[in-house]
Amino acid sequence: MKHSLSPSESRRGAATVLIVDDSRTNLNVMGARLGQAGYLVVLSDNGREALDLIAGRGFDLVLLDMMMPGMSGIEVLADLRAAPRTADLPVIMITARSDSGAVVEALAAGADDYVAKPFDFDVLLARIDRTLGRASRIAELKRMVASLDARVAARAIELGEARTELAVTRADRARLVSSISSLNAEVERLSGTSGA
């Protein structure tokens, strides 16, 4: 009997996740676990390198530590959200801070979700699957909107061409009516002259 993949398993098989954390231990543990779950994983231990990696290749999702030396996760997220190419890149913020202020700060900065350390790995996987699923639906909606925009533009061009043809036809009709009127006037004039 053939095993069919669940939607989350099929997303995992194709999804590339960038994990950004200043702790090598956290990176290795999360990387190994996500790799076992079927994700393609890239690791980075600082924000600047993470931005360079993102600029150099596409990722489906970023797991981003909130508190890092040098460039914080919030600063990395601000850079991502400011660039049109990465403005919609799914980001889940991960941090040891458990206060509600950290959650609000992460979400206000544009994080798609937030997970506090220590976390249950199954919960993290569920949040990743949900975030990737939502990102996939948003991408599909954007493709549909772009397709509809293209169709509307094509119809607008067709409509413009039809209006131009109609204007030419009306001008031709007006010239024909004028010519017929002139001919009728000439016929009447000639008829009146010949009868005299």
Number of neighbouring beta carbons within 10 Å of residue 159: 10
Contacts of 111 (CB under 8 A, 6+ apart): 64, 77, 91, 92, 93
Number of neighbouring beta carbons within 10 Å of residue 163: 10
Contacts of 15 (CB under 8 A, 6+ apart): 39, 40, 60, 61, 132
Q: What is the mean pLDDT of the chain?
A: 86
Give the per-residue pLDDT at 27: 93
Model confidence at 196, pLDDT cuts 50, 70, 90, reads: low
Q: Is the pLDDT of residue 169 over 80?
A: yes
Q: 117 φ, ψ to 5°?
A: -85, 150
Q: pTM for the complete prediction?
A: 0.70
Model confidence at 2, pLDDT cuts 50, 70, 90, reads: very low
Give the per-residue pLDDT at 3: 38
Give the per-residue pLDDT at 16: 93
| Cα angle 108-112-32, degrees, rounded to a multiple of 5 | 130
Q: Is the pLDDT of residue 57 over 50?
A: yes
Number of neighbouring beta carbons within 10 Å of residue 84: 7
